[in-house]
Chain A
C-alpha cells in the first residue's frame, strides 16, 4: 500500500520496464496465496452457517401447483417422489404384462419376477416417504399407454426397454441431487437391479445388446459410462405415460 504514497515520478520508471517481466517464483506464490485468501473470504460469505438472505418458497410433495400440476416436492423428498413416480409406472406396466397372455414360458416367468421387483420398489418408496415426510407422499398415479402396447411381444419388449433405460438414466442423474446418505445407498441398491433388468430385456430383444456402446445418446458412452438424464428430461419422457401432470422443477432443491 505504501507504494501508492510514492511520488508520481516513480511510475515512469515502472512503465519503462518490459510488460513481460517474468514473475519470480516467490512472487507467484504470494499472488497464489492472496487468491486463496480471497477465495476463503468468498466461501466464508456463502457458508451455510450464515443466514440465507432469501428463503425460496419450495413446494411440498403432492401439492398442487398454480397450473394444476402435482408437485413432486423439493430436496430429498422431491427425489424420492420422483423415484416413486417412475416405480409406480414400471410396476403398473409389468403387472399388466405379468397378468396378460402374450408372453409365455420362461419369458413370462421372468417378467413376473421383474413385476415383483418393481412392485417392491414402488411400495418401498411409498413406505419410506410416508415415514420420513408424512403428508408429502405422491398420490397414486394413473398410467396410460399407447394403443397396442400390450398386444405383441415386440411392443411389450420395446416398452420394457424404454422404461428400464429411463429408470437407469433417472437414477444415475438423481444421485447427485440426494443429500441423505441413507437414501443414496438405497438408490444404489435399486439402480443396479434396474440395470440388470435393462440388460436382460435388451438381450431378449437381440442377444448381445446389453450395455451397448457406440451411441452415447442411447447406450454406454466412450468412457464406459452408462446412460444419464436430468429429472426434467426423464419427466418429459415419462409424462406421455402418466395421466396426471407432474411438476419436478424443485427436485433436489433445498431451502
Chain B
C-alpha cells in the first residue's frame, strides 16, 4: 500500500465524535495504519505477530520494556563487585543504548501528543513490591551468573517484542525505521550476554537454540521464559495463504543432509505477541 493511500484513508477517517483528544488521535493513527497494511495481517503473519495493538499501545509497551531493562542495568552497575571490571564497559554500553532507546520512544510519545505513562516501581526479585510474595528471581542483583541469566532473557524478550510490535508503528516511517534498527541492537546485546554466559560454563549459544540449557526458575516465572524463548523451535516460515516454504523437500541443504531441524530453528528468530510480553514484563512491577 502506498503511503499516499494510507494518508488518504486517514483523511477519510471521521473524527471520533466532537473534539477528539490528541491521545485518541494517536490511537486512530495506529488503527488506520494497521488496517491499511496489505494482505490482511491475520492471514499472513505467524500467530505471535498477530497483535491488534494501536500504535500508542505499541510504543507505550516498548517504552515500558526499555525502562525496565534500563533500570535493571542501572541497578546492577551500582552494585559493587557484581559485574567484573573487565565486563563493566560492556554493560555500560548496553545501558547507554537502552537509555537512548528510552529517550527516542519518550520523544515519539510526546511528539504524538500522548501522556507519558508513569514510571513503574521496578522490582527485580519478582515479588512485585510485596514482601509476602515469593521471590522468583533470586540473586539477580548480587550473583553475576544470576544477573547474566536474567539479562539474557530480557534481551531475548526485547528482540522478540520489537519484532512483533514493529508492524503496529508502521504509520510513522521515521519511528518504524528506528524500531527496525533498535531491534538489531537488542539482538547484538543478547548475543553478547549469551557469549558471556557460555564463557562461564553455561550451555548456551549466541542465538536461541534447542541445545541451550533451560534457565531454572520457579513456576511463577514461566511467563518470562515463554516470552524470551518460547516457540523458538518453530520450523514453519513464511506462511502465505496457508502455505509454508517446505524445507524438507525444497532446500538444497536439506538434501545434503547436514542441516538439522535445530539449525533451521536457529536460523530464524521468532516474534512475540504483546500479551505474552506483557505477562513477562508484569513480573517486575
Contact = CB atoms under 8 A, between A and B. Distances in A.
Interface in A144-201: 168, 171-172, 175-176, 179-186, 188-200
A126 B94 CA distance: 36
17 contacts: A119-B252, A120-B263, A123-B253, A185-B46, A185-B238, A192-B186, A193-B267, A193-B269, A196-B207, A197-B206, A200-B195, A208-B192, A212-B93, A223-B104, A224-B104, A225-B185, A254-B2
A5 B146 CA distance: 82
Contacts of A46: 4, 8
B239 interface: yes
Given A39-B11, A210-B191, A188 B163 contact: yes
Interface string A205-217: 0001011110000
Contacts of A40: 11
What DSSP secondary structure best describes chain A's contact surface? helix
A174 B251 CA distance: 24
A199 B192 contact: yes
Interface of B: 1-2, 4-5, 7-8, 11, 37-39, 41, 44-46, 49, 87, 89-90, 93-94, 96-101, 103-104, 159, 163, 166-167, 173, 176-178, 180-192, 195, 205-207, 237-240, 243, 245-247, 250-254, 258-259, 263-264, 266-271
A228 interface: yes
Contact of B259 (A119, A180, A186, A191): A119
A228 B181 contact: yes
Given A193-B266, A211-B189, A224-B98, 14 more contacts: A49-B5, A120-B263, A124-B245, A176-B180, A181-B45, A188-B166, A189-B268, A196-B188, A196-B206, A198-B191, A203-B195, A211-B93, A224-B96, A224-B99
Given A123-B250, A127-B250, A196-B190, A189 B237 contact: yes
What DSSP secondary structure best describes chain B's contact surface? helix
Interface of A: 39-40, 43-44, 46-49, 110, 113, 116-117, 119-121, 123-124, 126-128, 131-132, 168, 171-172, 175-176, 179-186, 188-200, 203, 208, 210-213, 220, 222-228, 254
Given A176-B177, A210-B188, A123 B267 contact: no
A31 B248 CA distance: 63
Contact of A189 (B90, B177, B263, B271): B271
Contacts of A123: 250-254
A168 B184 contact: yes
Contacts of B250: 123, 127
A210 B237 CA distance: 28
Contacts of A182: 39, 44-45, 238-240
Nearest to A106: B198
A130 B185 CA distance: 32
B251 A124 contact: yes
A156 B253 CA distance: 23
B37 A181 contact: yes
A228 B2 CA distance: 22
A116 B267 contact: yes
B8 A200 contact: no
Given A48-B5, A117-B263, A211 B269 contact: no
Nearest to B100: A224
A193 B207 CA distance: 7
Given A117-B267, A124-B238, A193-B266, A180 B38 contact: yes
Contact of A116 (B89, B93, B237, B263): B263
Contacts of B1: 48, 179
A211 B192 contact: yes
Cβ-closest 6 pairs across A and B: A224-B100, A195-B187, A199-B191, A192-B187, A182-B44, A225-B181
Contacts of A223: 100, 103-104, 178
A181 B206 contact: no
Contacts of A181: 37-39, 41, 44-45, 167
Given A44-B8, A116-B263, A123-B253, A176 B173 contact: yes
A120 B267 contact: yes
Contacts of A180: 38-39, 44
Contacts of B247: 120, 124
